[in-house]
Structure 1
Amino acid sequence: MKNRIYKIAIVLFSLFTFLGCSSDFLELEPTGKLASEEYLTTEKEAFDALIGLYDRMQVNNNNQEDWSSVFLTRVLLSDDSNAGGGSATDQQKFQEIDDYTQRADNAAVQNVWKGYYKAINMANNIIDNVPPELASAETIIAEAKFVRAYNYFELVTLFGSIPLRLENPKTEADNHVAKSSVEAIYAQIELDLTAAVASLPLKSAYSAAYKFRASKGTAQALLGKAQLFQKKYAEAATNFAAVISSEEYDLEDNYGEIYDGVAKAGKEVVFEILYSSESGNNWDTWDGTGESNYMTQLMGIRGDHSFNNLDVALGKEYINGWGMNVPTREIGELLEASAANGDVRGPASVISGTDFSAAGGYINSPEAAAIYTGDNKDYEGPGTFNWGDYEGYLRLKYTCDTLETGKPAFETNWQFPVKVIRYADVLLMAAEAYLESSQADKALTEINKVRVRAGLSNLSSVSLQNIKDERRLELAFEGHRFFDCVRWGDTSELGPKFTAGKNELLPIPQIEIDLNNELSQADQNPGY
């Protein structure tokens, strides 16, 4: 598969200009430049621009500018994951996010902000410039509106009040935009998604090669989620009901296959960001902008003699990664306890260090080194790991299974997708919306669908706590937990390092405040 650079000569805002992105995992190559006023006048040019927009979301969740990643940032904000890595200073920007000590100059926070606005910039360009007379214009513009709404939803939940940019700047003065209220951001999200719902096709209308694209159900699910976050429960329930009744989606039969190639673009996928194991990357071509999911390697179970004999202990051919995104003891124990009741999600998500060792794995920790007295020829001293973040469990979700990568270098060709919206997530959000709008019978129906797939018995009644518990088990390590705790007012569960009144939001990047004349230090989020 070829990688080509795709550039747009449009200023995003004072600091950030549009950067390149690679071709899509499906060998769709958006080539050329968007500097010409004549661009976006043909079907091919419009489609290439759209594929570039999906590519941008690949990069945002991947190795974006020195290992910054939207996905890992979202996960580490929760109480399900510790940063891990090679030491307590490995990827310092993520260590700070994990410990809630991030500042306004944190590189990962800055790149998350930048990546979202780059995607918005691209979406604006498509919305404003694709000629309506093109046969594909309605669908392509609707997809761009979905993507714009998705990126604004991510921004508003991470940063709160932010600049609302619906047109790309034409003059230098246009780069300077004041913050809009949270209410105004949500209003625009709903406008974009309502338009997208009206114009997007069903998922089944896309051919197999294009099921990565946003569909009507994708827009309905995100619209329902945005309404749920605003406590518009009846409206949210209506949109979730439309997704469910469409019969376009279903739960995968095997929970353990959700994250591998078996279920790529499968029936449980409402929206996901796909990657390829066929890029042919090696250590010389590994730059973070290709189609492979490099974050898999960063998050894999740590090597450097820390955790050994993975294939023996886990029963598959695994390779070691670099140890970021380590389960907390709390989520490990919750998943393990649920597994004792027959829940298949536990063994698909984590393994305890005790079970790992009993199955033939070897944990080469400082404690192991201190008591080592034998003559094991493989012993090379304690593993190089952030042992303070290891709390007795190893993560199996998104772990380096070699079936999910390719040659010439396994470490550089991972295909694991980022699951943005799964059908199980929709069912649980629907259960919550139904319960909060006095439709407990419907809430019970939807939560039990998720429980039965997990191997658990049906509930006879449902409470909000049941839904909270189910979401934590079902969606562990997928980037939802922190945002659920914030919207529920359950931030005390996020641990003693979390500061209420501050850590609900990330800081506005200081460089944005410095360069945007419509912002001042008074616009910074509280506590930063």
Structure 2
Amino acid sequence: MVAEAKFLRAFYYFDLVKNFGGLPIVLQMAQPSDVEGIQRSTIAETYELIEQDLKDAIADLPTKSEYSASDLGRATKGAAMGFLGKAYLYQEKYKEAEEILGDLIDTQEYDLCPEFKDVWSVENNNNIESLFEVQFNSDLSYSLGGRLPVFTGSRDDSGWSWGLPTSNLEKAFLDAGDTERLKWTIVKHGDNVPGDDTDEGQNYVITPSKHKSARINRKYYIPHDLRPARYDENHNPLNHRLLRFADVLLMYAEAANELGQDTDARRALKRVRDRVGLPEVTSSGTQLKSAIRLERRLELALENQRLYDLRRWTDSNGKKALCNVMGENGSFVQYNLYQSTDEYELTNQGENSNKGITFQENRDLLFPIPNTEVLLSGGSIAQNPNF
């Protein structure tokens, strides 16, 4: 129980430090008067807590295979090892990341699903690729289901159409010859939705005038014959995958490449590419690094990984990758304003095409601390720079 609590504390602090930077660290129950005047610790100090909690959790948590089916979804030794490897990677502690992720791979507790389409299938929750995922169900009594399929779905299909895939992402798949993952990641207006053979899934409607890109996220889509009644409520049973084995392999490949262990990096990368029928990457050094980064974009697209990768990666010009993607001269902004020929995004200007143009690299690598938190602290919690 203590190990589970430490895992969860590390998980939440990791989520917060990625978004906001250094945090006020509270390690025990406390009354408001006990934390009056508390200030933020440094990013390094916050990561020290995360690392120690995960190491403690690893020592005491069971493996996934030691749990019964009724306990699926609980924190496991493998999940703690995976998040520790990710925490190391985010700090550029490549040696430590390579070691713990290599040990995790060697446990053989996890493997890739045989087919990419099975990774996010509602019929394949807690699959062999899953290290940690949020457990949802369709019990109407307690609203314990998820709503992401609704949030990201077509407005013509009871959806809210948040976080739509872009033509820039689709182009990345096409440029890489990656048709298999494209099919199971992006649905475009007029497509037959793969895996949904119902009438509603054929010639699928994502009305361009109501959707900036006329595309939706296939990963969170639930076929019509598998949807619960009263679909637009918090009881969709598609578990949300937070850490999966393909991510572990690609993190290991990245760490190995940074250490000059390109043979090991290529071997891990090959496992991910083999599943979707893509050729083996034979490059080394910086070219291999670029290939691994692209693979992360394509494999983990729309899974809440890309922003954090772009924030942590340093490009050849010494800037964080996000600074080269966003901003007035950023590649994503330039593509949308001057290079794109996409019929839907260019036509639908209900939402402007200059998204990201106001990005400032001396401000926007972190989010602002919510003003409510600053006020509740009486001003002792310092705001992030330039907000």
Q: Distance in 2 between matches of 1:403 and 1:165?
A: 47
Q: Distance in 2 between matches of 1:301 and 1:244?
A: 38
Matched, 1:471 2:296: yes
Pick closer, same or farther for the CA change 1:293–1:175 going to 2, 3 Å.
farther
Q: Distance in 2 between matches of 1:361 and 1:151?
A: 38
Q: Distance in 1 between matches of 2:22 and 2:242?
A: 23
Q: Distance in 2 between matches of 1:186 and 1:146?
A: 13
- Quote the residue 2:203 is aligned against: 360
Matched, 1:206 2:49: no
Match of 1:298 among 109, 130, 151: 151
- Quote the residue 2:174 is aligned against: 336
Q: Distance in 2 between matches of 1:325 and 1:335?
A: 18
Q: Is the 8 A contact 2:57 2:80 kept in 1?
A: yes
Q: Give the Å deviation of 1:514.
A: 1.1
Q: Give the Å deviation of 1:261.
A: 2.8
- Quote the residue 1:217 is aligned against: 78
Pick closer, same or farther for the CA change 1:216–1:256 going to 2, 3 Å.
same
Q: Give the Å deviation of 1:433.
A: 0.6
Pick closer, same or farther for the CA change 1:400–1:265 going to 2, 3 Å.
closer
Q: Is the 8 A contact 1:142 1:196 kept in 2?
A: yes
Kindly provide the amino acid, as one letter, of the partner of residue 181 in structure 2: R
Matched, 1:397 2:219: yes
CA deviations on 1:394-448 (whole Å, 9 max, x unpaired) are: 32120242344323x1332311221111100000000001111121111010011
- Quote the residue 2:110 is aligned against: 249
Q: Is the 8 A contact 1:252 1:268 kept in 2?
A: yes
CA deviations on 1:479-526 (whole Å, 9 max, x unpaired) are: 000000010010121443322121111111111111213615xx1111
RMSD of aligned alpha carbons: 2.0
Matched, 1:445 2:304: no
Match of 2:140 among 277, 280, 287: 280
Name the TM-score, length of structure 1 as normaliser: 0.61
Q: Distance in 2 between matches of 1:330 and 1:272?
A: 28
- Quote the residue 1:414 is aligned against: 236
Q: Distance in 2 between matches of 1:225 and 1:342?
A: 26
- Quote the residue 2:386 is aligned against: 527
CA deviations on 1:73-130 (whole Å, 9 max, x unpaired) are: xxxxxxxxxxxxxxxxxxxxxxxxxxxxxxxxxxxxxxxxxxxxxxxxxxxxxxxxxx
Bigger RCO (CA 8 Å, 6+ sep): 1
Name the TM-score, length of structure 2 as normaliser: 0.83
- Quote the residue 1:346 is aligned against: 182
Q: Give the Å deviation of 1:173.
A: 3.2
Gaps of 5+ in 1: 1-139, 282-288, 304-318, 367-384
Match of 1:484 among 309, 314, 333: 309
Q: Is the 8 A contact 2:122 2:222 kept in 1?
A: no
Matched, 1:503 2:364: yes
Gaps of 5+ in 2: 194-201, 314-319, 327-332, 334-356
- Quote the residue 1:316 is aligned against: none
| Secondary structure in structure 2 of the residue aligned to 1:297 | helix
The structure that has the greater radius of gyration is 1
Q: Give the Å deviation of 1:391.
A: 2.6
Q: Distance in 2 between matches of 1:192 and 1:250?
A: 26
